[in-house]
């Protein structure tokens, strides 16, 4: 009986201790609640009206106090203690997630606190335009404040001579040492805050494969075209055509030229060979550049396709090469209406007659 009473007493003591801890916790919360009740203006007053996104990282093991101090140092909150009190009162201190976030000084403490509980929702938009070359993507990375890496870092995983996945090399038919020019699919992407150069590269390559699909490479192979050759010609078509609806006809002209051994004589290939000049990766060129821009990419000087793509084409340009509009045309030039369209010709004499 005594043993049973002792056991009961011990159990009762454990219940009281547990209850006591709950009472202390509740008391602390009550004190915080009373304190915050008089500080609502401070809670809902942002550190500033600056809407500039600030990259902020929470690492595993960071305490609410440490996070609050770093928020204060970053200019995101005025009073770190107020942040700690808020997250403790609403049990957010146990929901703060490790991850990278984009916060703004114009957010209030409640908005920042709740944002830090969902790292998966922290994303940013990045757009790559059709016809951009690799260096333009790198420049866009440098111009986007959300990346934790530079355009040079991206070039180090996508540029010439960089190691690539053997499966993608076989799929695309990449020559040894070739860059990923042409295969970095242009689109608008929602990227995670912790994206790395390798992650970005793989996202772009995966998007390329998903957009191109299975049938286009099969139909290209049936025409004795490799995917690398298709993308190379598509990149020229992308740069040459202003309007997507004209791409199949322009691609058809280039294919007609290749079929008879005629040089492509495509201005964008001259621009690509020149590189950065006069503040642009696509500088204005003159007739002298056709002869003096010594480069394997200059299709005024070299037969056949250039060594590889000169830009990253969209799906319309890729499809235009595989499914061109049949014609007898071998020439085209910008029309005289300044509407972005071209006039086409069968003979060189007709081509000259189309001049303005």
For 288-301, the three-class secondary structure string (H helix, E strand, C coil) is: HHHHHCCCCCCCCC
Cβ proximity of 148 and 128 under 8 Å:
no
Cβ proximity of 200 and 156 under 8 Å:
no
Which long-range contacts does 83-92 make (Cβ < 8 Å, 24+ apart)?
83/109, 83/112, 83/113, 85/32, 85/35, 85/36, 86/36, 86/43, 86/110, 86/113, 87/113, 88/28, 88/29, 88/32, 88/64, 89/29, 89/32, 89/33, 89/36, 92/116, 92/117
Mean pLDDT across 89-108: 92
DSSP annotation string for 117-139 = T-GGG-EEEEE--TT--HHHHHH
pLDDT digits (tens, 9 = 90+) for 154-213: 999 999 999 999 999 999 999 999 999 999 999 999 999 889 999 999 999 999 999 999
DSSP annotation string for 63-86 = -HHHHHHHHHHTTS-S-HHHHHHH
The pLDDT confidence band at residue 16, using thresholds 50, 70 and 90, is very low
For residues 98 and 120, the model is more confident at 98
What's residue 231's pLDDT? 98
In the predicted structure, residue 302 carries a pLDDT above the cut 70 = yes
pTM above 0.85, yes or no: no
The class of domain 45-121 in CATH terms is alpha beta
Q: How far apart are CA 41 and CA 48, in angstroms?
A: 14
What's residue 11's pLDDT? 39
Mean pLDDT of the chain: 90
Residue 280 bridge partners (DSSP):
277
Percent of the chain clearing pLDDT 90 (strictly above): 76
pLDDT digits (tens, 9 = 90+) for 122-144: 889 999 999 999 999 999 999 99
For residues 121 and 239, the model is more confident at 239
In the predicted structure, residue 272 carries a pLDDT above the cut 60 = yes
DSSP annotation string for 177-207 = T---TT-S--SEEEEETT--HHHHHHHHHHH
For residues 356 and 222, the model is more confident at 222
Q: How far apart are CA 14 and CA 11, in angstroms?
A: 5
What's residue 53's pLDDT? 86
For residues 356 and 240, the model is more confident at 240
Phi, psi torsion values for 264, nearest 5 degrees? -65, -35
Q: How far apart are CA 122 and CA 120, in angstroms?
A: 6
Domain with CATH 3.30.1490.480 in the chain: 45-121
Residue located via tokens 């201190």: 93
What's residue 38's pLDDT? 83
Mean pLDDT across 81-88: 93
In the predicted structure, residue 8 carries a pLDDT above the cut 50 = no
What's residue 31's pLDDT? 85
For residues 5 and 310, the model is more confident at 310
């Amino acid at each position: 009986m005594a043993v049973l009473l002792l056991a009961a007493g011990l159990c009762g003591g454990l219940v009281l201790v547990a209850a006591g801890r709950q009472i202390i916790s509740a008391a602390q919360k009550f004190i915080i609640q009373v304190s915050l009740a008089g500080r609502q203006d401070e809670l809902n007053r942002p550190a500033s009206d600056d809407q500039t996104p600030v990259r902020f990282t929470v690492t595993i093991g960071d305490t609410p106090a440490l996070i609050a101090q770093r928020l204060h140092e970053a200019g995101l909150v005025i009073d770190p203690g107020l942040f700690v009190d808020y997250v403790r009162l609403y049990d957010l201190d146990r929901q703060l997630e490790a991850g990278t976030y984009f916060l703004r000084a114009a957010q209030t403490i409640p908005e920042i606190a709740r944002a830090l509980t969902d790292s998966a929702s922290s994303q940013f938009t990045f757009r790559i335009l059709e016809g951009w070359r690799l260096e333009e993507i790198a420049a866009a990375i440098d111009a986007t404040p959300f990346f934790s890496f530079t355009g040079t870092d991206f070039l180090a995983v996508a540029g010439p001579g960089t190691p690539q996945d053997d499966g993608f090399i076989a799929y695309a038919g990449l020559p040894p040492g070739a860059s990923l020019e042409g295969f970095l699919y242009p689109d608008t992407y929602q990227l995670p805050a912790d994206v790395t150069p390798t992650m970005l590269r793989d996202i772009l390559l995966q998007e390329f494969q998903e957009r191109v699909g299975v049938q286009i490479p099969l139909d290209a192979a049936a025409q004795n075209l490799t995917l690398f050759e298709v993308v190379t010609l598509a990149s020229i078509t992308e740069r040459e055509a202003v309007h997507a609806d004209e791409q199949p006809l322009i691609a058809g002209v280039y294919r007609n030229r290749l079929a008879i051994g005629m040089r492509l004589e495509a201005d964008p290939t001259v621009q690509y060979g020149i590189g950065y000049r006069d503040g642009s990766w696509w500088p204005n060129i003159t007739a002298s550049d056709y002869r003096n821009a010594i480069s394997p990419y200059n299709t005024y000087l070299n037969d056949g396709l250039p060594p590889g793509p000169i830009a990253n084409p969209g799906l319309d340009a890729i499809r235009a090469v595989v499914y061109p509009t049949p014609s007898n045309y071998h020439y085209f030039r910008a029309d005289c209406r300044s509407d972005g369209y071209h006039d086409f010709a069968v003979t060189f004499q007709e081509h000259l007659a189309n001049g303005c």
